[in-house]
Amino acid sequence: MLPLREGQAPLYALGLCLTLAVALLSIFQPPPLQQLDLLLYDMMVAGRAVPPPPSAPVVVGIDEDSLAAYGQWPWPRYRLAQLVRQLRQLGATVVVLDLLMPEADRTAPEVIEHERQRDLGNATAAFPAPAAGDSNSQRLAGTLAAGPSVLAYYLDFSQPGPIAPAAATSPAAPNGTVVLRADGGHGWHMPQAGAVLRSVPVLTAAAGAEGYTNALEDLDGTLRRVPLLLPVAGQERPSLALSALLLTSQDRLLRLGKDGGDFTLYWDRHAIPLDAAGNLLLDYRNASHAFLSARAVLDGKLAPASLRGRIVLIGTWARGLGDWHRTPSGKWLNGLDIHATIIDNVLSDTYIARPDWARGVELTAVLLAGLAGTLMLSQPGYVLSLLAVLAGTGGFYWSARQLLLEAGVHLSPLFPIMALVLITTCLSLLKYGIEARKLHMRTQDLYEAQDEIIFSLSVLAESRDKDTGQHILRTQRYVEILARELATTPAYAHLTPSDIELYAKSAPLHDIGKVGIPDSILQKPGKLTEDEYTIMKTHPLIGAATLARIIVGHGHPEKRHFLNYAREMIEAHHERWDGGGYPHGLRGAAIPLAGRLMALADVYDALISKRVYKRGYSHAEVCAYIAEQSGTHFDPDLVAAFQRRHEDFFRVAQTYADVAPDDDSATAA
C-alpha cells in the first residue's frame, strides 16, 4: 500500500468520522432533523401537478353565503335532509356527511318543548328516546336510508385503548366489507383508539356506512398523511373517504399485504401504498376540487344531472366552523378538501409512496456521498473538488425531486446532502489549516534562514574586530528587553510585538559598516589618532549606505520594514540625545528610536565587557554612568526603562559573557 501524502491522513479520518456520524443521524433522526426533512419534502413536492379525473369528488360547503341565507349553524336536520335529497336528484352517487351529530336536534319541536318545560320548572314533556330520535333526525335518517350515504365519527386516542367490542356498537363499514391481512398481517402497527364519538343511533342505523375523520399531523403541524384503516373494537374500519369509495363499487374486499416489502392496501383494481401504521401519504395536487355552496344546491340553481356519478361531500366551510389543516404548500385546507384529496388520489391512482426500502437506499447514499466527498476533498486544490461536491449536492436534490414528481416515490436527499455539506465545510477548513501550517513552517524556515544570514553578516563584520566576542548576541537581547519595557509606557504604547521583534533582529547589523574600515584602524591595539577616529566614525554611514542600496534594489522599499529599522539603527546608534553624537549630530526625538535603543545597549555592553585596552566595569558602575548620562547621551525615557530592567541586562551579560565581569559584577547592584 502506498503511503498517504503528507496531510491526507487527517482528512481521510475526519471525512470517515463525519460520514459515520451522518449515517447514525439518518438512522436515529432527532426532531430538528425530522422537521428539516419535512421542509425539504415540501419544497420538492410543490411542483407535482396531475390533472384531476372526470370522476373527482365534489365538495358542498356550508359557507358564509349559506349561513346568511338560511340562518346560523347548526342547521335543523330537516334542512340537511333537504340538502341530501337535492344532491341525490342531481345525480350524486354517494353522499358523505362530514358532520358529527351525537345529540338530539335542539331545533326539533319536541326537543324545544322539553327544554322549555325543563327550564321553566315544569318538565312534563318527554325527551325523545335516542333509538327513535327526534322528528328532525328521523327526517334526515329517512333521507340517508334512501341511497348510499356515509356518516362521520371520531376516534379518541387520548384515552387508553383498545375499545372493547362490548363497550359500544362498532361503527358500520359498508355492507359486505371484508378486511384480510396477507401473511398473518405481520409488520403492521396500527394505533388503537380508546373511545369513539358517533352520531345518534337513528342516523347511524340509517346511513349506508360510517367512516372516521381522524388525520395525522406531523411535528411541524402540517398534514401530510392520513390513516385509511384503523382498528375499532377489534376490527379494521375504513376512513370516511375510503368508506365512500367502497360504496361506489361492488368489490368490498380490502387486502393488506406487502408487495416487495412495501405495505400496500389492495382494493378493486387499486394498489394503495401505505406505511406500517396504515397511513396514506397525501398527494396534494395543484388542481382544486369542485366546490358548491350549500345555498346554491338548496336554491335549485344547479343543472339537472350535473352531479351524476360523483361522490359529494357535505360539511361546514365558513371560517370558525369545521376543521382546517395546513398543507405542505403552506395553504390551509378544509377537512372536506382533505377527504376529497384521498378520494381523488385513489380514483386516479396517483400516489406518493415512501417505500419500505427507502431508509436503506438513503443510508447507502450517505455512505457513498461521504466517501466520494472525502476522496475528492482530500486531493490537492480546492476549485475542482468544490465543484464536484456542489454538483453532487445538486444531483442528489434534483434526482430525489424528479423521482418524487415523476414517479411519486419519496426518497429524502437530506442526509446525503448533509454529508456532503459537512464534509465540504470541515475538510476545507482542515485543508486550510494544514496548508496554513505548512505555509507557517515554510515562512518560519525563511525567517530562520534570514536570521542566520543576518547573524552571519554580523559575525563577518565583527570577525575583523577580535575584541567584540559575544557582543552581537548581547546587544540583540538588550535591545529586545529595552523595547519591551518601553512598550509598557503610554508614550510608546504604539510599539507592537512585531516592531519589537524587528528592532531585535536589526541589532546584529548595527556595526556592519565596520567592514569598510581598514584593519590597521579596526584592529589597532592602542588608542586611535584623531584622523583614525574620524575614519572610524564613518562606519555608520557605510553600513547605512549598504542597506539603502539593498532597500532600493528590492523594488518595494515601503514593504521592507526590517531593513528600514536596521538602516536607522546602523546610522543613528552613535547619535547623542544632546546632539553631540555622529554622523549627523541629531538631537532628541529627531534620533530614530532604533538608534536610541542601540545607543544605550551598545554603551552598556562596551562598559561592562573587558577589552585588551580597558577593564570591564561593574554592573553598578555601568548603571550609575547610564543614569548620569540621562538627557545628555541617552533618551531619558530609555534610561528610565533601563533602570526598571537593569537586572535583566546583567543576566544577559553573565549568560553571554566573554569573560566573567570584574569585582561586584557578580551581583546586580
Angle of CA points 284, 191, 341, to nearest 5°: 15
Average pLDDT of the chain is 85
Residue 294 CB burial class (10 angstroms; 0-12, 13-18, ≥19): buried
Closest listed residue to residue 198, CA positions, set 101, 98, 130: 101
**Which pLDDT score is estimated for 614?**
73
H/E stretch holding 437? helix 414-462
Cell of 139: 327526517
How far is the C-alpha of 544 from the C-alpha of 510, rounded, in Å?
9
Q: Name the segment(s) of the chain with CATH classification 1.10.3210.10.
A: 464-666
Q: Is the pLDDT of residue 662 over 50?
A: no
The average pLDDT across 593-619 equals: 89
Q: Is the pLDDT of residue 469 over 60?
A: no
* Amino acid code (one letter) for 68: A
How far is the C-alpha of 522 from the C-alpha of 514, rounded, in Å?
8
**Which pLDDT score is estimated for 99?**
94
Percent of the chain beyond pLDDT 70?
87
Q: Is the pLDDT of residue 91 over 90?
A: yes
**Which pLDDT score is estimated for 511?**
84
Residue with grid cell 541589532, as numbered in its chain: 507
**Which pLDDT score is estimated for 393?**
87
pTM value surpassing 0.85: no
**Which pLDDT score is estimated for 183?**
67
Phi, psi of 156 (to 5 degrees): -100, 110
Cell of 650: 546583567
How far is the C-alpha of 134 from the C-alpha of 203, rounded, in Å?
11
Where helices occur in 487-609 by DSSP H, the ranges are 497-506, 519-522, 530-536, 539-554, 561-572, 593-608
Task: Place 186 in a pLDDT band, splitting at 50, 70 and 90.
Answer: low
Q: Is the pLDDT of residue 1 over 90?
A: no
8 A C-beta contact, residue 404 and residue 42: no
**Residue 74: cis peptide before it, omega within 30 degrees of 0:** yes
Task: Place 454 in a pLDDT band, splitting at 50, 70 and 90.
Answer: low
Q: Does domain 464-666 have CATH number 1.20.120.80?
A: no
Angle of CA points 493, 498, 504, to nearest 5°: 100
The CB-side HSE value for 290 (13 A sphere, CA atoms) comes to 16
Per residue in 18-47, pLDDT tens? 999 999 998 998 999 999 998 898 888 887
**Which pLDDT score is estimated for 637?**
96
Which range (172-181, 268-277, 379-388) has the least confidence?
A: 379-388
DSSP string, 144-209: HHTS-EEEEEEEE-SS-SPPPTTTSPPPPPSTT-EEEEGGGGTT------SEEE---HHHHHHSSE
Which range (533-547, 553-567, 618-632) has the least confidence?
A: 553-567
Phi, psi of 470 (to 5 degrees): -90, 20
Which range (123-127, 138-142, 443-447) has the least confidence?
A: 123-127
DSSP string, 575-594: --TTS--SSS---GGGS-HH
Task: Place 555 in a pLDDT band, splitting at 50, 70 and 90.
Answer: low
Per residue in 209-256, pLDDT tens? 999 999 888 888 999 999 999 988 888 899 999 999 999 999 999 998
Determine what percent of the chain falls in helix, strand and coil, rounding each to the nearest 5: 50, 15, 35
Residue with grid cell 401537478, as numbered in its chain: 49
* Amino acid code (one letter) for 29: Q
**Residue 162: cis peptide before it, omega within 30 degrees of 0:** yes
**Which pLDDT score is estimated for 294?**
95
The average pLDDT across 283-299 equals: 85
Task: Place 451 in a pLDDT band, splitting at 50, 70 and 90.
Answer: low
Q: Catalogue the long-range contacts made by 30-33 (C-beta closer than 8 Å, 24 or more residues apart).
A: 31/219, 33/414
Task: Place 80 in a pLDDT band, splitting at 50, 70 and 90.
Answer: very high
**Which pLDDT score is estimated for 645?**
96
